[in-house]
Amino acid sequence: MSKFLFYKLILITATMNSQDLKTHQWKNRLILVFNNGSDATEYRKQISDLKEASVGCEERKLLMYQVLPSEVRLNDFTGAKSEKWNATTDLFTEFMQKDDRFKVVLIGLDGTVKEERDEPISSKELFEIIDGMSMRQAEMRRQE
């Protein structure tokens, strides 16, 4: 395969990945939880905390992507089974640096990164961040 075709394939794959996330724009907030495959303690802690707060996640239109170097899983917090693991590294390579071992990224309804950390974030703090966003405040006013 020529270098040109190889790089074009990488670019197309990365673009497809970004488009996948864009399908959620204006519908859902996203929490992306990454682990590089080594020590998964923080990864498991983050996922467990979010699943325990599933009602709050659902209220805030939050979806979780669990991302490993070669696997991605989508969880919608409704109690339904999460989507199957997909063999893709696009999200991983887009957000993780070479020496990152764990990362959590919050993406707002508008599709932009709102928070990015290299340690777990409690569901309480995450909800405070989301609830402070103007779109979330408008949602809460409409629910009153």
What angle is formed at CA 137 by the lines to CA 111 and CA 112, rounded to 5 degrees?
Answer: 15
What pTM did the predictor assign? 0.82
Q: What is the pLDDT of residues 40-53, one digit of tens each?
A: 999 999 999 999 99
Q: Output the CATH code of domain 3-143.
A: 3.40.30
12-21, 69-78, 113-122: least confident range: 12-21
105-129: average pLDDT: 97
Residue 60: partners with Cβ closer than 8 Å, 6 or more residues away: 29, 127, 130, 131, 136
Confidence of residue 86 (pLDDT cuts 50, 70, 90): low
Domain residue ranges in the chain = 3-143
pLDDT, average across residues 8-28:
60
Q: Tell me the CA distances in angstroms from 35 to 8, 95, 133, one per residue in order.
A: 27, 11, 27
